[in-house]
Amino acid sequence: MYRTLQALRLARLLPAAKNPNKSWGHVRARTSSASFHLLEDCLELNYEGKPMIFNYVWLRDHCRSESSYNSSTSQRVGDTGSIELSIRPESSAVEDDHLILTWQGGHVSKYRLSWLAENSYEEKKQATVHPRILWNSDIYKNANITSANWEKFMSCDSELKKFLHDYLQYGIAFVDGVPATVEATEAVTQRVSLIRETTYGRMWSFTSDFSRGDTAYSQLALDRHTDTSYFQEPSGIQVFHCLKHEGTGGRTLLVDGFYAAEKLRQRSPESFDLLCRVPISHEYVENTESHRNHIRGVGPILSVYPWNNELFLIRYNNYDRAVINTVPHDTVKRWYEAHRELTSELRRPENELWVKLDPGKVIFIDNWRVLHGRESFSGLRQLCGCYLTRDDVLSTARCFSLLP
Ligand X SMILES: C[N+](C)(C)CCCC[C@H](N)C(=O)O
List residues binding ligand AKG (CB under 6 A).
Answer: 216, 222, 227, 252, 372, 374, 383
Which of these segments, 4-12, 32-40, 184-192, 313-321, binds ligand X (CB under 6 A)? 313-321
Sequence letter at residue 241 = H
Tell the smallest beta-carbon distance from residue 381 to ligand X (Å).
12
Tell the smallest beta-carbon distance from residue 297 to ligand AKG (Å).
16
* Site size with Fe ion, rule: CB under 5 A: 1
Contact between 227 and Fe ion by CB under 5 A: the answer reads yes
What angle in degrees, to the nearest 10, is found between the helix axes of 329-347 and 269-277?
Answer: 110
Among 200, 258, 335, 364, binds ligand X (CB under 6 A): 200
User: What values do phi and psi take at 114, rounded to 5?
Assistant: -65, -35
* 148 contact choice in Fe ion, ligand AKG, ligand X, none (CB below 5 to 8 Å, kind-dependent): none
Residue showing the smallest CB distance to ligand AKG in the complex: 374
CA distances from 118 to 11, 115, 123, 310, 339 (A): 24, 5, 6, 18, 37
Q: Name residues whose C-beta falls within 8 Å of residue 128's C-beta, 6 or more positions apart in sequence.
A: 308, 310
* 214 contact choice in ligand AKG, ligand X, Fe ion, none (CB below 5 to 8 Å, kind-dependent): ligand X
Please identify, using beta-carbon distances, which residue of 271 and 382 lies nearer to ligand AKG.
382
Which of these segments, 179-187, 219-227, 289-297, 350-358, binds Fe ion (CB under 5 A)? 219-227
Which of these segments, 66-74, 97-105, 161-169, 199-207, binds ligand X (CB under 6 A)? 199-207
DSSP code for 135: -
* 200 contact choice in Fe ion, ligand X, ligand AKG, none (CB below 5 to 8 Å, kind-dependent): ligand X
Which of these segments, 36-44, 110-118, 127-135, 312-320, binds ligand X (CB under 6 A)? 312-320
Please identify, using beta-carbon distances, which residue of 271 and 317 lies nearer to ligand AKG.
317
C-alpha closest to that of 171 among 368, 321, 373, 388? 368
CA distances from 234 to 144, 259, 329 (A): 29, 19, 27
Checking DSSP bridges between strand 353-355 and strand 148-149, what pairing results, if any?
unpaired
Tell the smallest beta-carbon distance from residue 182 to ligand X (Å).
13
Checking DSSP bridges between strand 29-30 and strand 42-47, what pairing results, if any?
unpaired
Contact between 364 and ligand X by CB under 6 A: the answer reads no
Tell the smallest beta-carbon distance from residue 41 to Fe ion (Å).
50
Helix (H), strand (E) counts: the chain: 12, 24
Tell the smallest beta-carbon distance from residue 185 to ligand X (Å).
13
* 374 contact choice in ligand X, Fe ion, ligand AKG, none (CB below 5 to 8 Å, kind-dependent): ligand AKG
The H or E element containing residue 253 is strand 252-256
* 132 contact choice in ligand AKG, Fe ion, ligand X, none (CB below 5 to 8 Å, kind-dependent): none
Strands in 257-400 per DSSP E: 280-287, 292-299, 302-304, 311-314, 353-355, 362-366, 370-374, 380-388
Please identify, using beta-carbon distances, which residue of 227 and 345 lies nearer to Fe ion.
227
What angle in degrees, to the nearest 10, is found between the helix axes of 390-399 and 157-170?
Answer: 120
Which of these segments, 1-9, 61-69, 149-157, 222-230, binds ligand X (CB under 6 A)? 222-230
Nearest-angstrom CA–CA distance, 254 and 262: 17
Contact between 396 and ligand X by CB under 6 A: the answer reads no
Checking DSSP bridges between strand 380-388 and strand 237-246, what pairing results, if any?
antiparallel
Contact between 320 and Fe ion by CB under 5 A: the answer reads no
Residue 292's CB is within 10 A of a number of other CB atoms, namely 11
Please identify, using beta-carbon distances, which residue of 88 and 374 lies nearer to ligand AKG.
374
Cα dihedral sign for 104, 109, 113, 119?
negative
Tell the smallest beta-carbon distance from residue 127 to ligand AKG (Å).
34
Contact between 206 and ligand X by CB under 6 A: the answer reads yes
CA distances from 381 to 205, 364, 373 (A): 10, 19, 15
DSSP code for 178: -
Tell the smallest beta-carbon distance from residue 216 to ligand AKG (Å).
4
Binding site for ligand X (CB under 6 A): 200, 204, 206, 214, 216, 225, 227-228, 317, 319-320
Q: Which residues bind Fe ion (CB under 5 A)?
A: 227
